Structure 1
Amino acid sequence: MEQGVKLVGKVLTPKPLNKWGVRNILRAAWKELGEVEIKWVRENVFIISVKDEHVASKILEQVPWAVMKKVFCVVKWPPELALEELELDAVPFWVQIRGIPLGLASIENVQRVTKEAGKFIAMEDPGHARGFVRIRILVDTEKPLFKGCWIRRDSNKETWVEFRYERLQDFCYRCGRIGHINTECSVEMSGDGEGKCNGVGLRVCTERRIELRKIYFGIGWLTTLPPQTYLGFVVGISTNSYGIMRSLEELRSCTIDQDS
């Protein structure tokens, strides 16, 4: 498949996984999307070729994928970059910020709160009555997951806000990094810094329903648009079910059902 879109995927684990097993899991997950060619290139890294831009977008919008309970990150391969120049250890996650007062859920405050968690990508309209703010951030998996922080209220009191990561797979409860578990951890610990994770409570329940109407991308609120892909995920879908997870040969895939 010489023409089309090139993607690169990486299983985030220090242990080499069986390349045939990884390919079979991905093929099973993506077979309904369209024609996809998957080639092993080096340890835990795969080149993914697709003919259709729409198929590539569907794969990217559901990152992170999961393979054998490990995070599988997929990025688009721009023709002007070498394979070695691609950032494969930074993964976009949807994150729920819980405990933040509605009056403090402005874009400016949320960007300030998430500064240590990762690079801000987008934010859903905080006006939804679901009890949390939902954001998309780029997480550096070389660093511990950010579990939360204290924020100051108008009354000069402080409130603890916590971060919960959607579609989070194996991570180390000891050092808080993605890609290995406690028994495989070789990181020297110097104490638990504020906000750094080494415990439970970071995963979101695997099944829920929300309404996705407005998302802020740093250029303004986008709403009531046809389905489009921005930075690897779909926006502009009104009244849908999102985040319904299902298991497929140890791979969890997320579906978005659009109303007609």
Structure 2
Amino acid sequence: MRAAWNQVQHVRFCPVSPKLLVVQASCLGDSERMVEQGPRLFGNWLVLTVPYDGFMKVDEVPMVFMPIWLRIHKLPDGFCKKGIVEQLLKNAGEIIEMRLYGNTRGDYVRTRVRHDIFHSLTKFVSIIRGKECQVFLVWYGKLARLCSVCGLIGHDVKECGTSVHEEKNRKFGA
């Protein structure tokens, strides 16, 4: 992680539990870069970084939000407006940053959202024009283990035991 963060000054790692570390940066720039920019993956595991003031109990620090980049592909130029994109992504999480134009390929809108890891990812968005419904795929960048059925981060289909899978099995007789 030290190499991935490329910190300027010393960073101290203090293990709290087998899956939890407190990382203390020596300067504000390093701390902000680690929390805001990532990396979000270590191997194929999700890395959540949150600010910690040193006064709360570590196990009470809420670690449920992950800043994540997403792209809405093939969105026509007429819909590449801030208000429209905000409405399309209202269920994806709080919008942190939006890049409507300036993509090298120019065929998608890129947005960074604050995603709650306990909610499913938005897989597509749609717009109804007249009597026609247009559907646009939502792609995510650098995701850790993702269940393709329930859409939650942290496990895959073989490890999922949610009621979503059970409901689908009942519907389709599997």
- Is it true that 1:70 corresponds to 2:79 in the alignment? no
* Structure number with higher helix proportion: 2
Distance 2:80 2:144 in 1: 28
Q: TM-score, normalised by structure 1?
A: 0.58
Q: Determine if contact 1:94/1:135 at 8 Å carries over to the other structure.
A: yes
Distance 1:159 1:116 in 2: 18
Quick one: which of 127, 134, 150 aligns to 2:110? Answer: 134
- The CA deviation string for residues 212-233 of structure 1, in whole angstroms up to 9 with x for no partner, is xxxxxxxxxxxxxxxxxxxxxx
Distance 2:148 2:18 in 1: 25
Using a 3 Å threshold, how does the CA distance of structure 1 residues 105 and 187 change in structure 2: closer, same or farther? same
Distance 1:107 1:149 in 2: 15
Distance 1:188 1:77 in 2: 34
The CA deviation at 1:151 is 0.8
Quick one: which of 3, 10, 16 aligns to 1:41? Answer: 16
- The CA deviation string for residues 103-148 of structure 1, in whole angstroms up to 9 with x for no partner, is 1111111111111111111101335462100111011111121101
The CA deviation at 1:60 is 2.3
Using a 3 Å threshold, how does the CA distance of structure 1 residues 31 and 135 change in structure 2: closer, same or farther? closer
Q: Determine if contact 1:64/1:93 at 8 Å carries over to the other structure.
A: no
- Is it true that 1:145 corresponds to 2:118 in the alignment? no
Aligned length: 166
Distance 1:118 1:139 in 2: 5
The CA deviation at 1:33 is 4.3
The CA deviation at 1:68 is 2.8
Q: Which residue pairs with 1:109 in the alignment? A: 84
Unaligned runs of 5+ in 1: 1-25, 193-260
Using a 3 Å threshold, how does the CA distance of structure 1 residues 158 and 38 change in structure 2: closer, same or farther? same
Q: Determine if contact 1:96/1:132 at 8 Å carries over to the other structure.
A: yes
- Is it true that 1:164 corresponds to 2:130 in the alignment? no
Q: Which amino acid in structure 1 is aligned with residue 109 of structure 2? A: V
Distance 1:33 1:191 in 2: 50
Distance 2:55 2:7 in 1: 30
Q: Give the 5 Å matches for 1:201-212.
A: none
Distance 2:148 2:35 in 1: 28
Using a 3 Å threshold, how does the CA distance of structure 1 residues 92 and 66 change in structure 2: closer, same or farther? same
Using a 3 Å threshold, how does the CA distance of structure 1 residues 100 and 191 change in structure 2: closer, same or farther? farther
Q: Secondary structure at the match of 2:110?
A: strand
Q: Which amino acid in structure 1 is aligned with residue 124 of structure 2? A: G
Distance 1:117 1:57 in 2: 24
The CA deviation at 1:78 is 3.8
Q: Which residue pairs with 1:87 in the alignment? A: 62
Unaligned runs of 5+ in 2: 170-174
The CA deviation at 1:85 is 4.3
Q: Determine if contact 1:94/1:165 at 8 Å carries over to the other structure.
A: yes
Quick one: which of 60, 64, 73 aligns to 1:98? Answer: 73
- The CA deviation string for residues 125-181 of structure 1, in whole angstroms up to 9 with x for no partner, is 33546210011101111112110121123x542211111111112111232110011
Distance 2:64 2:131 in 1: 38
Using a 3 Å threshold, how does the CA distance of structure 1 residues 187 and 58 change in structure 2: closer, same or farther? same
Q: Which residue pairs with 1:241 in the alignment? A: none
Q: TM-score, normalised by structure 2?
A: 0.83
